[in-house]
Amino acid sequence: MKYQPVIGLEIHVELNTKSKMFCSCPNDPDEKHPNINVCPICLGHPGTLPVINKEAVKKVIKTGLALNCQILEYSKFDRKSYFYPDLPKGYQISQYDMPLCKDGFLLINRKKIRIKRVHLEEDTGRLIHEKDYSLVDFNRAGIPLMELVTKPDLKSAKEARKFAEEFQLILRYLNVSNADMEKGQMRVEVNVSLQATRKLGTKVEIKNLNSFRAVERAIDYEIERQTRVLDLGKKVIQETRGWDESRGVTLSQREKEEAHDYRYFPEPDLPPLHFRKEEIDEIGAEIPELPQQRRKRFKKEYKLKDLTVEFFVQNKDLGEYFEKVVSEFEPRLSPEKLSKLIKLATNYLITDLQGLLKGASVSGEDFLITPENFAEFITLIADGKISSKIAKTVLEEMFKAGADPSHIIEEKELSLVTDEVEIEKTIKEVISKNQKAVLDFKKGKENALQFLIGQVMVVTKGRANPQIVRKILGRVLDKIS
Ligand code: ADP
Ligand code: ZN
Ligand code: MG
């Protein structure tokens, strides 16, 4: 490659606090009715005073600690002045030179991506553009907004996407935001430049990225576009471009020359923030196990394949349910038996249970299967008490009614028939009704045997142990001349 792509990210995240950043209005990003979560403070009426939301500050510090940042002992809020119809005060309360967190990093594919800062600000209202007029909804105005800025350490579209995805996962583990990109709870802006010499190239900022896929596509497009510009001997101009999803291109929005002066100055209505070390340690103690630690532990503790580990790390609730199920297996099992149970449990959770859940969560209120019952279910399969076909029915029943598996098996008479006398009786019945198949088998048609086994399974409603059926059927057919 002639030019080295250089990429830095700026990511805004709406925090999931109960109330807004500087007033007690509900923070409800799902509210559909416009302008009801509003008050004189978040509408910027004169004479009102903001009050800092402590929970929001804690959530930013938590995120900073999880990203290996330094938490500043002294921090403050600043006014960023600009005019726009979605900003009722005429300024945004943000942080300028003393952010809550700075100088962290996140490992992506074992490479350190440095984080320049993580700060706290407030969200703006939402503009809805109609044909020849625009509407303003201030429900979102004043929602706590966290901003993360990376150093330009990312080298490809894939790597940048991975960073954003891992960051989203961390936010969810920390329970600081649901960080849904489609809902605008997490907004990624990318800065892209090409480096030809030792000096960094001119960067272009891209906005309007509503999915991880858009992040990746926009960067790849921009790398190609800038390569063409440089190959023609021209210069890349510093500008903001917007991603056009349907055309798959970035389009110029404004050139940096007209970048405004925000006239930052310390917010006079809010006190500066001061944290003692113990306060920061207390917040740090609330940080749960994070995705990267969990990957290592799942691999070591349960000896799962990388793909399975990743599935459980991404689907956090299901991963946690899996651990509860494993803890319900009989104690003092042989390592072989335990490993067999873990494999079976993994398969049933990832395929069958996922299918039944249809996107719902195992931590939801209407999920009825206790880890204890699931563990028993898996043990019954492992011990050959039910076939895999019956297992499906049992699991469906468990899912619907929440009963324990042995009850369901008893009630519905589902347990696997292993009684050879009973199976032989059924086989004789089937043979008497399927003389043609018997003849075919005698002529050497292997399919006929499969057909007869199938008939026995039909008559027993799938409850006969297939190995025993095969064995006895072979014996009975041998005796027929
Ligand atoms: P500014 O002061 O222009 O906003 P910053 O240094 O704060 O610039 O960086 C803003 C974002 O742009 C950061 O994510 C940073 O990593 C990224 N960035 C800075 N320089 C470059 C560059 N040459 N190429 C790509 N991204 C860059
Ligand atoms: Zn309000
Ligand atoms: Mg900002």
Average pLDDT over residues 129-154: 97
Quote the tokens at residue 252: 């110029």
Domains of the chain, by residue range, sit at 4-284, 291-411, 420-479
Which CATH number is associated with domain 420-479?
1.10.10.410
Q: Please tell me the predicted confidence (pLDDT) of residue 389.
A: 81
Average pLDDT over residues 250-266: 82
Quote the tokens at residue 358: 């249809």
Which atom, in ligand 1's list, is nearest to the CA of 202?
23
Average pLDDT over residues 460-479: 85
- Amino acid identity of residue 252, one-letter, is S
Q: What confidence tier does 29 reach under pLDDT thresholds 50, 70, 90?
A: confident
Q: Please tell me the predicted confidence (pLDDT) of residue 33.
A: 97
For residue 6, the CA-to-ligand 1 centroid distance in Å is 10
Cβ within 8 Å of residue 439, ≥6 positions away: none
Which atom, in ligand 1's list, is nearest to the CA of 191?
26
Q: Please tell me the predicted confidence (pLDDT) of residue 190.
A: 98
Q: Please tell me the predicted confidence (pLDDT) of residue 106.
A: 98
Q: Please tell me the predicted confidence (pLDDT) of residue 258.
A: 57
For residue 343, the CA-to-ligand 3 centroid distance in Å is 47
Query: What pLDDT digit, counting tens, does each position of 62-107 carry?
Result: 999 999 999 999 999 999 999 999 999 999 999 999 999 999 999 9
Q: How far apart are CA 102 and CA 400, in angstroms?
A: 50
pLDDT at 402 over 70: yes
Query: What pLDDT digit, counting tens, does each position of 206-249 carry?
Result: 999 999 999 999 999 999 999 999 999 999 999 999 999 999 99
For residue 95, the CA-to-ligand 2 centroid distance in Å is 20
Helix axes 291-302, 316-327, angle to 10 degrees: 30
Residue 324 DSSP SS3: helix
Q: Please tell me the predicted confidence (pLDDT) of residue 462.
A: 79
Near ion ligand 3, which residues have CB within 5 Å? Answer: 147
| Residue of 191, 193, 207 to mutate, ligand 1, most atoms within 8 A of C-beta | 191
Which atom, in ligand 1's list, is nearest to the CA of 149?
14
For residue 191, the CA-to-ligand 1 centroid distance in Å is 6
For residue 308, the CA-to-ligand 3 centroid distance in Å is 38
For residue 266, the CA-to-ligand 2 centroid distance in Å is 22
Cβ–Cβ contacts within 10 Å for residue 87, how many?
20
Q: Please tell me the predicted confidence (pLDDT) of residue 386.
A: 83
Mean pLDDT is highest, among 188-192, 332-336, 393-397, for 188-192
Residue whose CA is closest, atom 3 of ligand 1?
Answer: 203
Q: Please tell me the predicted confidence (pLDDT) of residue 242.
A: 96
Average pLDDT over residues 116-140: 97
Q: What confidence tier does 9 reach under pLDDT thresholds 50, 70, 90?
A: very high
Average pLDDT over residues 281-291: 98
Query: What pLDDT digit, counting tens, does each position of 414-454 carry?
Result: 766 667 788 888 899 999 999 999 999 888 888 898 999 99
| pLDDT-above-70 percentage for the chain | 98
Which atom, in ligand 1's list, is nearest to the CA of 151?
16
Residue 317, H or E segment: helix 316-327
Average pLDDT over residues 148-165: 98
Q: How far apart are CA 321 and CA 348, in angstroms?
A: 12
Residue whose CA is closest, atom 22 of ligand 1?
Answer: 203
- How distant, in Å, are the alpha carbons of 23, 81, 125 from that of 43? 10, 16, 9
Q: Are 219 and 157 in contact (CB under 8 A)?
A: yes
- Amino acid identity of residue 312, one-letter, is F
For residue 366, the CA-to-ligand 1 centroid distance in Å is 47
pLDDT at 256 over 70: no
| Residue of 3, 102, 190, 203 to mutate, ligand 1, most atoms within 8 A of C-beta | 203
Q: What confidence tier does 157 reach under pLDDT thresholds 50, 70, 90?
A: very high
Task: List pocket residues of ligand 1, CB cut-off 6 Å.
Answer: 6-10, 149-152, 191-193, 200-201, 203
Best CA proximity match to 126, nearest among 117, 139, 113, 145: 139
pLDDT at 469 over 80: yes
